[in-house]
Amino acid sequence: MSEGTGMGTIDFERLSEYRYRIPRQGKMRCDAVFYASERILEDLAAEDYASLRQLMGVATLPGVVEPALSMPDIHWGYGFPIGGVAAFDPEEGGVVSPGGVGFDINCGVRLLVSEITREELEERKARLADELFRSVPSGVGRGRKDFRIGRPDLERLLVEGPSWLVERGYGEPEDLEGIESRGRLAGADPDAVSERAYQRGRPQLGTLGSGNHFLEVQYVDEVYDEEAARAYGLHPGQVTVLIHSGSRGLGHQVCTDYVECFLQVAPKYGIELVDRQLAAAPVESPEGRDYLGAMSAAANFAFANRQLIAHFTREAFARAGFGGRPLRVLYDLAHNNAKLEEHGGREVLVHRKGATRAFGPGNPELPERYRRAGQPVLVPGDMGRYSFVLAGTEGSMRETFGSSAHGAGRKMSRRRAKKAARGRNLIREMERMGILVRAAGRATVDEEMSEAYKDAAEVVEVTDGAGIGKKVARLRPRIVVKG
């Protein structure tokens, strides 16, 4: 089919119920594939197919391995569309692009599970909401006053990730087993991180940040796959905690630094950019290696950030009267990373930007207890509806470089959302739904209104229907802490 846009005509064809292909054209080096339902196609049309145009741009980069991909939560981003996945072969001149990782390096989610029941939660919900809001700083630039780390220790943390914190009592050794790559990307190079990045990141360890970052206390509302749910330790009525945060100012500065660097060096390597936001350098170049070292350091910072948030979340639960009721790490995974992985018999650098790793059953990268079911895939929704737990599949390994959707995906800008929320009291509306909201300000709540996001259920149905993720369970929010 051909769809007219303000930028010309974009041709794509339907391969199956939820899978579409944009044939190689113009400067594209390979085809592009995206996953969508009819409703998601309508969302793409409403944005004049800007994110699909970005996906076509990704397919122009050197060394890209067919196909360039986007998940069903696709929307416009910086360089790559959010929901974008692309693999590059270093031996074929493949590149690394900071725009393919994002400014919030290793923005990701951690799911904690308990044996607390929904009924027990309701008895102490207000107190717990207040304790969590006090325990986990949120908002633009907010730092912690009860946790300080010096420069030498921060450099060690950038290499070691959350294991550095666990050794000092901020969590349990078992936590590390439930973190993607055990919370430590190899090759982290603290020397490749700028002084400005250190200054921005050091006071922000253990904080949520702003925007769409959150901490939610939820409960398991529905189970779709009993076997996988048992493997993950999930059952109806069980209280869970979902933490969404990333590398804060440190990761943002790393991205800023290397976008500027790569714009300068791209001509030296003969890289023609159809969009400056796709600034790139060869994986094997000195600049490419430096960025990967800095990016890995920022990713380890983000894993440690979620570890520290989890520690203070556990303390808040204890103060609210849930002492002795452990919160176990089910899984922690990244949304914005570039990682060397083996796919199709060769090692490639997989960029996931607003997409998540979704390795299938039997993969040795997974904890033993999850290998039969496949990797837990966490798909946050909006604060008023639901989030989902999925499992990685053989289909994701075969079709998407082991990747899946990462969330609901925005369909309304923050400015437009705040305009739509005028005259409404969203916090009171949520309270009438039984959801307590604690936030740094009304503006944050307004711009994160449910209507600003795609329906996560729609994204999950496409993911499940396309075979690149399997529905396991649905989670409903009861407490929301926002930045």
Q: Please compute the mean of the pLDDT values over residues 25-48 and round it to a whole number.
A: 95
The domain tally of the chain equals: 1
Q: Report residue 2's pLDDT band, with 50, 70 and 90 as the boundaries.
A: very low
Q: Please compute the mean of the pLDDT values over residues 408-418 and round it to a whole number.
A: 84
- For residue 8, what pLDDT is reported? 43
- For residue 1, what pLDDT is reported? 54
- For residue 5, what pLDDT is reported? 35
The CATH number linked to 181 is 3.90.1860.10
216: annotated binding-site residue? yes
Q: Report residue 417's pLDDT band, with 50, 70 and 90 as the boundaries.
A: confident
Q: Report residue 242's pLDDT band, with 50, 70 and 90 as the boundaries.
A: very high
**pLDDT at 305 > cutoff 60:** yes
482: annotated binding-site residue? yes
Do 100 and 403 touch, CB atoms closer than 8 A? no
335: annotated binding-site residue? yes
pTM: 0.95
Q: Is 343 noted as a catalytic residue in this protein? A: no
Q: Catalytic residue among 252, 311, 351, 406, which?
A: 406
381: annotated binding-site residue? yes
Do 400 and 358 touch, CB atoms closer than 8 A? yes
Q: Please compute the mean of the pLDDT values over residues 328-352 and round it to a whole number.
A: 97
- For residue 126, what pLDDT is reported? 97
Domain around 108: 2-482
**pLDDT at 456 > cutoff 60:** yes
**pLDDT at 138 > cutoff 80:** no
What are the pLDDT digits (tens) for 69-128?
Answer: 999 999 999 999 999 999 999 999 999 999 999 999 999 999 999 999 999 999 999 999
351: annotated binding-site residue? no
**pLDDT at 6 > cutoff 80:** no
- For residue 87, what pLDDT is reported? 98
